[in-house]
Amino acid sequence: MGVLNKISRFFLNPTADELTAYFASLENDMVYRRLAIETCIDLIANAMLKVEYKTYEQNKRVKNDIYYRLNVSPNGKQNSSEFYKSLVHHLYYDNEVLVVSPGRNDSELFIADDFNVTEQALKPDRFDHVTVNNLQLDRSFTETDVIYLKLADTNIRSIIDSFYASYGKLLASAINIYKRNNARRFILKGDIFHIQDRSGQEKINKMMTAQFKPFFEADNAGSVFQLQDGFDLKDVSGTTKSDSRDIKNLLDDVIDTTSSAFHVPKGLMKGDMAGLSDQIDSFLIFTIHPLVALITDELNSKIYTMDEYNSGDFVRADTTNIKVTDVTSMATALDKLLSIGTMSVNDASEKVGTDPIDEEWANKRYITKNYSEAEQLINSLKGGEKENDSKEQTKQIRI
C-alpha cells in the first residue's frame, strides 16, 4: 500500500488503534507545553487573589458597591477568586480580556468569552457580538462602557508555541531514542512452516507477539514462556541503556524559556526553596505589580471621570498581603510606622490579620515626642550654643 493510500485510508476509514495512537501523540506533544504555561499562569493567578482593591471617596477609604464587586462578588455566578483566576487565564491565553456589565444600570461584572472589536483611531473602540456564559448579548459596547485589558502588543503564548514547534521535535526525538535504547529485542530461530504470503506472516507475528507479551511485561510478578524444541531465542538488545536525564534537561529548557517569557522565577515553577524570599520579590516586581498597575489604571479610567479622580475618588490596589510575613518579624517595622504616624492602630491590626478596635482613638495617628520640625530643632540648638557661650564669657570675666 502506497503512502498516499495509507493517508487517504486513515482519514476516510481509520481504525480505532490508529485514532488512539494519533491523538495520544498529539496529547503527548502538547502536555509539556501546557504544563509549563499552566504553571506560570496559576502562580500569577494565585498571587492576584491576595490583592485587595481599596476604594476611596474624597481621599477617605470607604467600602461601597465598587469595593464589593472588586473584592467579594463581581457577579451573581462567581466569587472574586473565580473571577480573577478566569481573568488572568483569558489575559495570558488570549492576550486580552473584556469585562462588561450586561445591563445598562447593572453593576455586575462579567468576563466575555468571545467578542469582536472594531478599533477606531480617534474614537472609542466598539465591541460587538459579546458572548457571556455562552449567551450572546443583544447590545454593543463602546470603550467607555467596558473594562478592556490588553497584555502586550505580541501574544506571549503564540511566541511560546512557535518556540515549541521546533523544540518539541527535539524533545520527541529524545524520547524516541530513550525508548529505542531501552527496548528489548530478540531473534527467534526455528523451522516454522506457513504459507509464504503476507497474511500468513502477519498471523505468525501476531501469535508470537501475543505469546511473548506477558513474558516481558514489567507489571507481571512472574511469567513462564515455553520454548519448543528446535527453536533458539537470542537476545540482541543493546548493552548500553539510556537514562531519562536528556529528556529531563530538555523539559527544563522548556520550563526555563516559558518562565522567562512570563517573568516568573524558574525556582518558583520547580518548587525550589533556595532563595525563596528573593524569588518572591522578583516575582512581585516584574510580574504582579505591572499587572496590578494595568488593572488599577483601567479601573480608575473607566469607573471615575477626571474630575472625580482629582477630587479624591479612586481605586488603589494593596499588594502587601501577597508575601506572607511572620508577625514577630513585623513587630519592629510596625512600631516604627506607628511612631511616625504612617498608620493607625487599626491599620496595624489589619496588616497582621486581627480585627479592628471599635474605638475612635484606634483610628487616630500618633507621633512620638522624639520627632520635631527641623527648623525648630536647629533654632533650639543655636539657642543652646548662645547660652553656653554667654556662660563661658561670664566665667572668663569672673576669672
The answer on 312 and 220 residing in a single domain is no
The answer on 313 and 296 residing in a single domain is yes
Question: At 315, is the secondary structure helix, strand, or coil?
Answer: strand
Residues of the chain with pLDDT under 70: 1-32, 104-105, 153-201, 204, 207, 211, 214-231, 233, 235-250, 325-326, 353, 374, 377, 381-399
- Tens of pLDDT, residues 47-79: 999 999 999 999 898 999 999 999 999 998 899
Contacts of 330 (CB under 8 A, 6+ apart): 351, 352
Positive/negative CA dihedral, 375, 378, 384, 387: negative
The answer on 292 and 159 residing in a single domain is yes
The answer on 158 and 222 residing in a single domain is no
Give me the residues paired with residue 132 across strands.
135
The answer on 310 and 172 residing in a single domain is yes
What is the rounded distance in angstroms from the CA atom of residue 230 to the CA atom of residue 242?
34
Cα 228 to Cα 51, 116, 192, 204, 211: the distances in Å are 73, 72, 11, 15, 13
Which among 281, 306, 324 is the end of a domain?
324
The answer on 293 and 264 residing in a single domain is yes
The answer on 318 and 208 residing in a single domain is no
Residue 318: its H or E element: strand 314-318
Alpha-helical regions (H) of the chain: 3-12, 16-48, 65-71, 80-94, 156-182, 198-216, 245-262, 266-270, 276-283, 289-303, 306-310, 327-339, 345-352, 374-398
In a domain, 310, yes or no: yes
In a domain, 393, yes or no: no
The answer on 212 and 88 residing in a single domain is no
Half-sphere exposure of 310 (CA within 13 A, CB side): 3
In a domain, 382, yes or no: no
What per-residue confidence (pLDDT) applies to 73?
A: 93
Give the angle 198-200-204 at the CA atoms, nearest 5°. 115
Q: Which residue has the cell 518572591?
A: 280
Residue 271 grid cell: 518548587
Give me the residues paired with residue 333 across strands.
none
Nearest residue to 47 (alpha-carbon basis) of 84, 95, 94: 84
What per-residue confidence (pLDDT) applies to 316?
A: 93
In a domain, 362, yes or no: no
Beta strands 186-189 and 232-235 are: antiparallel
Average pLDDT over the chain reads 76
- Tens of pLDDT, residues 159-181: 666 655 555 555 565 566 556 66
Q: Which residue has the cell 512620638?
A: 368
The answer on 259 and 224 residing in a single domain is no
Beta strands 52-57 and 314-318 are: antiparallel
What is the rounded distance in angstroms from the CA atom of residue 261 to the CA atom of residue 153?
14
Burial of 269 (0-12, 13-18, 19+ CB in 10 A): buried
DSSP 356: P
Question: At 97, is the secondary structure helix, strand, or coil?
Answer: strand
What is the rounded distance in angstroms from the CA atom of residue 89 to the CA atom of residue 307?
34
The answer on 301 and 251 residing in a single domain is yes
CB atoms near residue 348 (< 10 Å)? 20
Which among 324, 346, 373 is the end of a domain?
324
The answer on 230 and 178 residing in a single domain is no
**What are the backbone angles phi and psi of residue 398, rounded to the nearest 5°?**
-60, -35
The total domain count for the chain is 2
The answer on 311 and 214 residing in a single domain is no
Domain extent at residue 75: 8-95+151-183+243-324
What is the rounded distance in angstroms from the CA atom of residue 268 to the CA atom of residue 51?
19
In a domain, 305, yes or no: yes
In a domain, 216, yes or no: yes
Which among 307, 324, 341 is the end of a domain?
324
